[in-house]
Structure formats: C-alpha cells, structure tokens
Amino acid sequence: MVLASTINFLRYYLAIAAPSPLTPLPRRGEGNQTPTNQTAFAGYINAIHSLGYAVSIVYRHYKNYDNPGIVSLWNTAMQMRGCCKTVKPFFLETQWFCKPWFDPQSLNLAMDDELPSGKQVVGLSLAGFGANQEGNALDKTKGVISLVLVHPDYRRKKLGHTLLKQAEDYLFKHGSCDVRFGYTWDRFPYCWGMVGSISPAGVLQSMIEAHQFIQQQGYTAAERYEVFTRTMNQPVPFGDPRFPHLRRKYELRVNPRRTIHWFDEAMHSGMDAMVFELLETSIERPVAEIRAAEMTHFIEKTEPPQAGLYSLSVKTDFRGQGLAKFLLAQTLQYLSDQLFQNVETVIPVEFTEAKRLFTGMGFTLSDQGISYAKTLAAA
C-alpha cells in the first residue's frame, strides 16, 4: 500500500508513467520539474529507498567499456577472506573475458548512471557452464552462477535478487535446470584462483551474508568443502621410515603446467602454475603429481607470500606405498626454499584419506565451503 501510494504521488505530481520497482524512475533534473516538485521527488525517492527498492538502477548486459566499473566494484565489495583483494582490468581479461565460452549476455550489470564514470557498476551476476566428462566441450546441463556481487552501499535494495533471477533465466534458456551457486570441481568456468581459494570451495563459511542471501532464494546445500592452511615456519616432517626407500626409487621433478584437455587449458592459461611430479627413476615413468600456484591476489602487499596446492593424484597401481605423503613433503620443502610462508589447499569433506594426509603434514582447518543447488523450472 505504501509503495502504491508513493508511485501514485509521483505519477500525479511529476506526470510520469508508474513503473515497476525494478525499472528506473527519472533521475533528478529530468523533465519539467519545478523546485517544489524536485523537493517532493527527492523526498519520495528516499521513501522508496527506505522500503528496500533501488530507484535509479538500470539493468543491462556487459559491454566492452564496463571493465573499469567492474574492477571498481570488485575492489570495493570483495574484501572478505577467500577473495582476491585487488584486481586490475588485465586480470579480469585473463580470468573472464578471454575464455572461449564467455558470453556478454551471461554477465548482467546493475548500473547507477548518477555516479561518476568508472564507478557506475553497482552490482553484477555472472553465469556459466561446466565441461563434459572428456573436457573437450561445455555441458550446458551443468549450470553454475559464478558470482552475484553488489556494492555495500546498494545492498538490501533488491539488486541481488534481480541479478540472481537474470542469471537463472540465462541458464534455463540455454538448457540448464540443475544449477549450482558456488563453484564445484566440475562447474568452474570463471574466477579460478579469484574466489574461495586456489581451487573450488563453494561459498565460504566466512561469507555469512552470501549464505543468508542464497538460502532465501530457494537454494539448498549440496557439495561441502574444507580449506586447510599450513604456516611454513614449522619444519617439514620427513620422519616416515618409508622415505629412504622411496627416495632411492623415485625422483621429484618440477615442470610447467601441461595441457590436459581443452577446458583445462582455457581455464588455467592465465595462471603461472607448477607441477610437482614423482617419476620412477629407472624408466622415468610418472606415478604421482600435485599442482601449485602463487596466491598473490589473495593477500595484501605487506603480507608474506602464499601458495596454493591442488589436484594431488597417485596412479592406482602405486597407492598404499606412501607416495602421496612423500610427494607432499618434497613439495612443501621446495616451497619453503622459495620463501613461501603459507600454503593452502581445498579438500571435499568426503575425502577423509586426503584430510588425514594433509593434517598429518601440519595443515589445520581454516574455513569451510558449501555449494548450493536449485532445480529451475519454467515461470
């Protein structure tokens, strides 16, 4: 009733068509407004804001000149744990826009044109798809809402709800009904190494407002992850009695990241990752590997260097010999020699053996993450 009365007032005194709460009203100074009407306009605009509605917001798809505004929004809104502290346009170019599957219609923006140029983007949502099992094409049944981001000054004004709905409509239009909010291992088209940790971690527990928001939109908890951290001021445990034998039989090699398949190359091409690999010395056969990358953007410039570990694997025929522990110990020693002070990794909660391995090597639980699921249906 209050909103209806407000709209009727604006229609009568300003001679404008009454829009819905999600479409923009005329801005100050537009039309033939007398000083009295301008004062009334400002007062009633504030009244609509107090009801939780954004008045001067325009929603549209991404355009090439929006990059500075998106960078400004990110650097203002993404200052919590598990997020890149500061990004620049080039970094977004490598992590978002240069991906072969990037679609401008998948990136919805909320714009406040009354703000200065370069700061008009006050909200965004980004949607995408995971890869098929072979990694050579997208699987458009695996939809994921990669990001919903709203400027702190514009929260609780329905922007997030609208942007989320636009992302859901995009995914449903392209054939995805089973949708995730928060990255999973098989649905991570954007932001690798930008949100959560070095690898997918869903929505971190420390992002309290995000959990409250997404649960209110009908999403339920699906996959769960745990983030483990290790400080490098403690010695690397090399006391396992199996290590002397393994050291004679296997050697560690550090190589640049290799291309596995199309999706992997497109996803990680912007990262300077290393592969730590154990090879059977006699025939140089690889038996285990783990990847590592710097997490420069997750820390302030004054904080010590941090690295992330992911994709630990041991070939089936060589499991149970301590190779995973031996490889992890060698990798940690290498990173310590390179003066990294902290190391982080993400483990799905059901991987109990992996959690036991990492905690035995000095890692401690620092955060948890949840990805949320929702089944979309036609309106």
Domain containing 75: what range? 58-224
88-95 CB contacts, 8 Å cutoff, 24+ apart:
91/270, 91/297, 92/67, 93/67, 94/269, 94/270, 95/190, 95/191, 95/192, 95/193, 95/194, 95/270
Q: What is the pLDDT of residue 208?
A: 84
Verify that 11 and 22 share a domain, yes or no.
yes
- Of 55, 80, 100, which residue is a domain's last? 55
Which tens digit of pLDDT belongs to each residue from 319-364? Answer: 999 999 999 999 999 999 999 999 999 999 999 999 999 999 999 9
What interhelical angle do 2-14 and 35-50 show, nearest 10? Answer: 160
Q: Are strands 342-348 and 306-314 parallel, antiparallel or unpaired?
A: parallel
Q: What is the pLDDT of residue 301?
A: 56
Cα separation of the two ends of the chain: 26
Verify that 216 and 301 share a domain, yes or no.
no
Helix, strand, coil % over all residues of the chain, rounded to 5? 35, 30, 40
Q: What is the pLDDT of residue 20?
A: 40
Verify that 309 and 359 share a domain, yes or no.
yes
Number of independent structural domains in the chain: 3
Q: What is the pLDDT of residue 14?
A: 40
Please list the residues that pair with 147 across neighbouring strands: 126
State how far the Cα of 218 lies from the Cα of 31, in Å rounded to an integer: 41
Task: Judge whether 377 lies within some domain.
Answer: no
SS3 assignment, position 220: strand
State how far the Cα of 224 lies from the Cα of 229, in Å rounded to an integer: 17
Residue type, 127: A
- Of 207, 224, 241, which residue is a domain's last? 224
User: Among 167, 173, 128, which residue's Cα sits nearest to residue 149?
Assistant: 167
Task: Judge whether 378 lies within some domain.
Answer: no
Express as a percent the part of the chain with pLDDT over 70.
83
Verify that 95 and 168 share a domain, yes or no.
yes
Task: Judge whether 126 lies within some domain.
Answer: yes
Which tens digit of pLDDT belongs to each residue from 265-316? Answer: 888 776 778 999 999 998 889 999 999 988 877 666 557 788 999 999 999 9
Which tens digit of pLDDT belongs to each residue from 238-269? Answer: 999 999 999 999 999 999 888 788 888 888 77
Task: Judge whether 373 lies within some domain.
Answer: no
DSSP state of 80: S
Verify that 212 and 88 share a domain, yes or no.
yes
State how far the Cα of 189 lies from the Cα of 96, in Å rounded to an integer: 8
Task: Judge whether 379 lies within some domain.
Answer: no
Verify that 86 and 216 share a domain, yes or no.
yes
Distances in whole angstroms, Cα of residue 229 to Cα of each of 163, 191, 346, 353, 358: 33, 21, 9, 17, 9
Task: Judge whether 172 lies within some domain.
Answer: yes
Verify that 167 and 257 share a domain, yes or no.
no
The CATH number linked to 63 is 3.40.630.30
Helix (H) or strand (E) holding 274: strand 273-280
Region 6-12 average pLDDT: 43
Q: What is the pLDDT of residue 223?
A: 94
Over the chain, what is the mean pLDDT? Answer: 83
Verify that 20 and 76 share a domain, yes or no.
no
CB 45, CB 31: distance < 8 Å? no
Verify that 254 and 347 share a domain, yes or no.
yes
Verify that 163 and 50 share a domain, yes or no.
no
Verify that 75 and 210 share a domain, yes or no.
yes
Verify that 284 and 330 share a domain, yes or no.
yes
**Dihedral (CA of 237, 319, 230, 341) sign:** positive
Per-range mean pLDDT, top range of 16-20, 54-58, 178-182, 207-211: 178-182
Please list the residues that pair with 67 across neighbouring strands: none
Query: Which pair of tokens denotes residue 178?
Result: 């089973």
Express as a percent the part of the chain with pLDDT over 90.
55
pLDDT over 60 at 31, yes or no: no
Which tens digit of pLDDT belongs to each residue from 140-198? Answer: 999 999 999 999 999 888 999 999 999 999 999 999 999 999 888 889 898 887 777 88
- Of 181, 200, 224, which residue is a domain's last? 224
